[in-house]
Amino acid sequence: MELRELTEPYLPLVLNWRNADHVRLFMYNEELISWEEHQAWFERISNDPSRRVFLYVANQKPLGLVQISQINPQHKRCYWGFYIGEKEAPKGSGTMMGELAIEKMFLELNMNKICAEVIETNTVSLNFHHKLGFKQEGLFHQHMRKGNDYLNVIPMGLFRDKWTKGGNS
């Protein structure tokens, strides 16, 4: 299992994942993404040193995506987002992907803090973050809109000195 930098040949696969209901409906932007928008996104991330995007690969099969953004070397913090794209991914794939990503952010990128934002209705993601050791750091009230509803977003953080592989309680 490993994280590999996202490269152009995998863009059609990632677009299919991103537009799949099991991924798209839990994003800030749940609109379908066009091929042109997807290519423009890839161009932006490819030329932005504050962003890195990786495929999570197990047994040579891509299963998910991890995006690290707002990488700030001065303050040693970043944000992350992720999803398992393959609906038939083996149980535990998300946890393994998360642990590999956290190791990369703390050990390779030398971050002190990993930030996340979780939409309050996404209880699966909220529980996943808690499992990995993230702690809630506040509440963004009515921070985003889905349809006619304004939803709260939960900011979360994980600190290097508090993290142990397998999460912490």
Spell 120-140 as b/e; 16+ CB within 10 A means b.
eebeebbebbbebbbeeeeee
Helical segments of the chain, H only: 11-19, 21-24, 35-46, 93-103, 123-132
Do residues 83 and 66 make contact, with C-beta atoms less than 8 angstroms apart?
A: no
**Per-residue pLDDT at 114:** 98
Q: Domain ranges for the chain, please list them.
A: 2-162
**Per-residue pLDDT at 29:** 87
**CATH number of 2-162, picked from 3.30.70.141, 2.40.50.100, 3.30.70.20, 3.40.630.30:** 3.40.630.30
Q: What percent of the chain has pLDDT over 70?
A: 97
The phi-psi region of residue 6 (left if phi > 0; otherwise alpha if psi is between -120 and 50; otherwise beta) is beta
**Per-residue pLDDT at 169:** 41
Rounded CA separation 79/155 (Å)? 10
Greater confidence (29 vs 15) lies with 15
**Per-residue pLDDT at 166:** 53
pLDDT in tens, 93-149: 999 999 999 999 999 999 999 999 999 999 999 999 999 999 999 999 999 998 899
- Run of H or E including 150: strand 149-159
pLDDT in tens, 52-100: 999 999 999 999 999 999 999 999 999 999 999 999 999 999 999 999 9
Rounded CA separation 140/53 (Å)? 26
Closest CA to 45 of 54, 36, 56: 54
Residue 126 CA to its chain's centroid (Å) = 12
Average pLDDT over residues 13-39: 93
**Per-residue pLDDT at 98:** 95
The answer to whether the pTM exceeds 0.95 is no
Spell 58-79 as b/e; 16+ CB within 10 A means b.
beeebbbbbbbeebeeeeebbb
Cα–Cα distance list, 7 to 49, 65, 79, 96, 109 (Å): 15, 12, 21, 21, 20
